Amino acid sequence: MDHSSHIRLAASELTPEFLEGATIYGPGDENIGSVSHVHGVGTDTIVVIDVGGFLGIGAKPVAVRVADLDFMRDENGQIHAVTPWTKDQLKAMPEHQD
């Protein structure tokens, strides 16, 4: 997927309403997870990504700063993010506990 024409989200859109459920793509443009939930709003937001698993079963939740992801909206209005981390790198992070 070519993300160059996608519109980056404004800081005011970095809220659970927009981010929850967003697909996360890795450096090779592979689908590596999705946002399960969000803590906070704005640039200090923590995003919990469910990595791996199948249909939400067996996925590992990891927490990252929203500033470490590039959230955008595609031509169909779907919100997603791109990260420089691979699925294996995210899986190696500590598991997030609510």
Per-residue model confidence as pLDDT tens digits over 46-72: 999 999 876 667 889 999 999 999 999
Residue 94: predicted pLDDT = 95
Distance CA 87, CA 60 (A): 11
In the numeric block, the tokens 């969000």 are attached to 38
Write the CA distances from 93 to 21, 50, 54, integer angstroms. 20, 12, 19
83-93 pLDDT, tens digit per residue, is: 999 999 999 99
